[in-house]
Structure 1
Amino acid sequence: MNILLLLFAFLPHNFHGCAVAPDGMHGWAVTLDTVPLDTLSIIHTSNGGMDWEKQVNPLERQFFDVTCIDSNRAWICGVGGIILGTDDGGETWNIESDGHTKYYARIQLLDTLHGYAAGGDGVFGRKEGAIWQRVFTQWYQTDFYGVAFADTLNGWMCGRPSPEAGGEASHIVHTTEGGSSWELQVEDSVYDFLDICFIGGKYGWVVGGKDSTYEPLILHTADAGQHWDEQTNIEGGYYLRSVEFPDRYNGWACGMFGTILKTTDGGESWFSQPNPADSTIFDIELVDPFRGIAVGNGILLYRIEIARAWQEWVLGIEENNNIFSGFTISPNPFNEKTVISYSIGSCGQLSVIGDQPITDYRSPITFTIYDLSGRLIRRFTIYDLRFTSVVWDGRDDRGNSVPTGTYMCVLDGGEVKLKQKIVKIR
Structure 2
Amino acid sequence: MTFRTSNTDAPPLSPPSTPAPATHSEHWRRNLFVCMFGSFTTIVAMTLLLPFLPLYVEQLGVKEHAAIVQWSGAAYGATFLTAALVAPLWGRLADLYGRKLMLIRASLGMSVAMALIGVAGDVWQLVGLRLLAGLLGGYASGSMVLVATQTPKARSGWALGTLSSAIMAGNLVGPLVGGALPPLIGIRATFFAAGGVIFVAFLATALLIREDRQPLQSRAAAASGGWAAVPDKGPLTAMLLTGMLLMLANMSIEPIITVYVATLVEDPARVTMTAGVVMSAAALGSILSASWLGRLADRVGHWNVIVGCLAVSAVLLIPQAFVTEGWQLVGLRFLMGLSLGGLLPCIASVIRHNVPERVAGNMLGYSTSAQYVGQVAGPLLGGFVGGHIGMRAVFLGTCVLMAVGAAWNWFAKRA
In the superposition, the TM-score normalised over structure 2's length comes to 0.22
Q: Which has the larger share of strand?
A: 1
Higher relative CO (Cα under 8 Å, sequence separation at least 6) belongs to 2
Q: Which has the larger share of helix?
A: 2
In the superposition, the TM-score normalised over structure 1's length comes to 0.22
